[in-house]
């Protein structure tokens, strides 16, 4: 039940929309524009009972909106969210932009 509520339904869609308003469309993994997915900082496969919170998600490139700049291992557009999988958040974040 827990994982399903994080991938659909009105509360998830609302939180996802708020996340994009807060953090924009820059992928937090690679630093390029055009992110279209919400990446959970704590993967739902690790904690499926976590609250649906826009501050616990970040914009990322994924299957529906791959990175227009980065290339995956096979040379196709990179799907940052799927590449990260359920690994912990990298510290420091590796991005292509200087902050």
Using alpha carbons, select from 16, 91, 80, 90 the residue that is nearest to residue 54: 16
pLDDT tens-digit profile of 23-66? 999 999 999 999 999 999 988 888 888 899 999 999 999 988 89
Domain locations along the chain: 2-84
The confidence score (pLDDT) of residue 91 equals 61
Looking at residue 65, its pLDDT comes to 87
User: Of 16-20, 30-34, 47-51, 95-99, which gets the smallest average pLDDT?
Assistant: 95-99
């Amino acid at each position: 039940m827990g994982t399903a509520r994080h991938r659909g339904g009105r509360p998830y869609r609302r939180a996802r929309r708020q996340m994009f308003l807060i953090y924009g469309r820059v992928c937090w993994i690679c630093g390029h524009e055009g992110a279209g997915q919400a990446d959970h900082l704590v993967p739902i496969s690790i904690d499926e009972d976590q609250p649906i919170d826009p501050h616990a998600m970040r914009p990322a490139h994924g299957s529906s909106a791959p990175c227009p700049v980065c290339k995956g291992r096979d040379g196709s557009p990179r799907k940052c969210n799927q590449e990260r999988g359920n690994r912990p958040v990298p510290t420091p974040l590796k991005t292509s932009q200087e902050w």
